[in-house]
Amino acid sequence: MALASIRIVGPGRAGQSFAQACEAVGLQVDLLAREAAVASAASDVDVVLIATPDRAIAQVARAISPGDAVVLHCSGATGLIPLAGHPRHGSIHPLMALPSAEVGATRLRDHGWFAVAGDPAAAQIVDLFGGQSFVVDDAKRALYHATAAVSANHLVALLGQVERLADQVGVPVQAFLDLARGSFDDVVAHGAAAALTGPAARGDHTTLDAHRVALPPSERGLYDTLVVAAQHLADRSRGVRPCVHTGRRIERERRMTVQVTTTLAETWELLDAARAEGKTVGLVPTMGFLHAGHASLIQASAAENDVTLTTIFVNPLQFGADEDLSDYPRDLERDLKLCQEAGATVVLTPSVDEMYPQPIVTTVTVNELSEAMEGAQRPTHFAGVATVVAKLFHIGGRCRAYFGEKDYQQLAVVRRMVSDLSFQVQVIGCPIVREENGLAMSSRNTYLSTEQFAAAAVLNRSLRSAVELVQAGERDADVVRSHIIDMIATEPLVSAPDYVAIVGADSLQPLTQLSGDVRIILAAQVGRPRLLDNIGVSLDR
C-alpha cells in the first residue's frame, strides 16, 4: 500500500529534518510537539514517527492509543520492544548526522543509508527518499549504534585532537585534515588493515615513546588508546596474536564494558555516584540463564534510563522443598554477554551469603493477590519473591523496575507491595516475548524435548482462541475456561492445566461475567517444567 501521510511526534532536529524530507517526496506531514496530546496520533494517518530523544520513546509510545497507523521510531540504539503495544510497528534510523532541519532534510534524500526493522513501511519511506536500507536485529542494536558512534562522533572527537595539536605545532590544520582525507580514501579503497601505516604498524616503539613524551599529558590517554587499536589491527593483518609492548604505560583493553559487582556495598557506591551526577537508574531483576525475554527488559530499561542495573540471583526463598533449586539452569558467562549486548550498565551477581548473611526471619507477604493461582500451587513462593524483590528495590534505590508480563501474578504482587510500602520505584510491565511457535520464553523451556516444545505451543493458541471467543461476544467465564481446557486436552504431551484463571487485570479477583480489563492466566505441566502464560483483553464495562 502506498504511503500518503505521516505524523511526526517531536519537533527537534530529527523531527524537522524528517518533516521537510517527507514533504519534499509528496507525503502529507503533521508535526506534533512532544508535549502535545498524542493519544490519537495513530488516527487518520498512515505512519506515526516518534522522533523524540531515546529515553522518551517508550513513554510516547505508551501514550499513543493503538490504531491503524504504523508506529515507527528513528532511534539507532532503541529496539522494537517499546513499540510492542502497537499492532504494526518498526524503526527507521538514518545513518547520518542531522545538524539542522535544512541540512538534515537534504541528507535524508541524498541516497543515504538507513537501518530499518519491523513493518515494511520503514523501508517504503527509505525508497521514497531514494536511500539504501539494511536490517539490524534488536539483539545487535547496541553494537550497531556503537559502530555508528565510532564512525561519526568518535571520528569527530579524534579530529578535535588533531585541531588542538596542530594549533600547538603552528601548522595549518588543513594540512592534517588533507592527510586524514587521504587515509579515509585508502580505507574505502583497500580496507583498514591495508591502509594502516606509521610507527604503530611498524612496531617502532622508540618513536611511539618519543610521541608520548612530546604530547601534553591531557592528550596522552586518547593517543595511548589508539596506539593499542593500531597495534592490534597490524597484528591481526599479520595473523599474530595482538600484544602490547612490555613496559609501555598503556591501559589494557577491558574485556567487557558492563561493570560486574558481587557485593551490595559496591553496587550502592556505583548507583549513588550515578545519581549524584543526575543520572536515572533502571533495575531488571533476574534469576539468570537469560534469554531474549530478559534482553527485552534490559533494552527497555537502557532506552529509558542512564544506568541499567541487572541482577542475577537464584533466590532460594522462592523455591519449595521439592522444587528445582539445585537443578535450576545457570550460565553466568553467557548471561553477562547477553547483558552487555542488551545495554546493561551494571550487573550484580551476589552470592546467597551476600544476600542473606544470616538466617532470614523478616519476610514480606502480599495477602489476597498471593493466595490464588501460583500461590495455591506453591504456598511459600510469593513470600520469597516479595522478600527478595524488596531487598533488590532497596539495593536499586529510586529507580524504574522492569518485569515481564509472563509472570503476571508476580507483577501484580510487586506492584501492590510497592504501593503499600511506598517504595520509590516505578514498576513497568513489559510485553511477553515468545518463541517462534508462540510459547512464552522461559529459562525452564530448556527442559523441554523437541516434541514437548512443539506441543507446548497449545498454551498460547488456547489463550488466543479464548480472546477471539470473547471478542465474538462470549462473556461467561466458565464457557471461556472450558474452551481453553478443551483445546489444551488435544495435546497429549501437555497435562491438564493446574488452573485457568479469568480475573480482573488489577485486582486478580476471579470473574464470573467478563467486563473491563480482563486477564486470563494459566499454568500447565509439560514434561518436567510447569509453564505459565497469560493474555489480556479489554471490554466495555
Burial class (CB in 10 A: 0-12, 13-18, 19+), 235: middle
Q: What percent of the chain has pLDDT over 90?
A: 65
- In DSSP terms, which residues pair with 135 in a beta bridge? 116
pLDDT of residue 17: 96
Work out the average pLDDT over 482-499: 96
Cβ partners under 8 Å of residue 362, min gap 6: 387
Work out the average pLDDT over 354-360: 93
Answer yes or no: is pLDDT of 244 > 70.
no
Answer yes or no: is pLDDT of 46 > 90.
yes
Q: Which of 73, 86, 291, 294 is catalytic?
A: 294
Answer yes or no: is pLDDT of 210 > 80.
no
Q: What is the pLDDT of residues 366-392, one digit of tens each?
A: 999 999 999 998 898 999 999 999 999
Q: What is residue 519's DSSP assignment?
A: E
pLDDT of residue 541: 55
Work out the average pLDDT over 112-119: 94
Amino acid at 415: R
Beta strand ranges found along 436-504 (DSSP E): 499-504
Q: Using pLDDT thresholds of 50, 70 and 90, give the confidence band for residue 320.
A: confident
Q: What is the pLDDT of residues 420-455, one digit of tens each?
A: 999 999 999 999 999 989 999 998 898 999 999 999
Tell which wins on pLDDT, 326 or 38. Answer: 38
Q: What is the pLDDT of residues 20-34, one digit of tens each?
A: 999 999 999 999 876
Answer yes or no: is pLDDT of 248 > 70.
no
Q: Using pLDDT thresholds of 50, 70 and 90, give the confidence band for residue 512.
A: very high
CA angle 468, 471, 477 (to 5 degrees): 85
- Residues 437 and 94: their CA atoms lie apart, in Å, by 33
Q: How far is CA 35 from CA 6, 70, 258, 481, in A?
A: 18, 21, 34, 43
pLDDT of residue 247: 33
pLDDT of residue 254: 33
pLDDT of residue 243: 41
Work out the average pLDDT over 189-194: 88
- Residues 8 and 69: their CA atoms lie apart, in Å, by 12
| Catalytic residue check, 294 | yes
- Residues 262 and 345: their CA atoms lie apart, in Å, by 14
Answer yes or no: is pLDDT of 264 > 90.
yes
Q: Using pLDDT thresholds of 50, 70 and 90, give the confidence band for residue 251.
A: very low
Q: What is the pLDDT of residues 131-154, one digit of tens each?
A: 999 998 877 888 888 898 889 888
Q: How far is CA 32 from CA 47, 120, 236, 413, in A?
A: 13, 23, 50, 38
pLDDT of residue 256: 41
pLDDT of residue 142: 82
- Residues 540 and 514: their CA atoms lie apart, in Å, by 9
pLDDT of residue 241: 44
pLDDT of residue 70: 96
Q: What percent of the chain has pLDDT over 70?
A: 94
Instruction: Look over the chain and give the mean of its residue pLDDT values, rounded to a whole number.
Output: 89
pLDDT of residue 140: 84
Answer yes or no: is pLDDT of 269 > 60.
yes
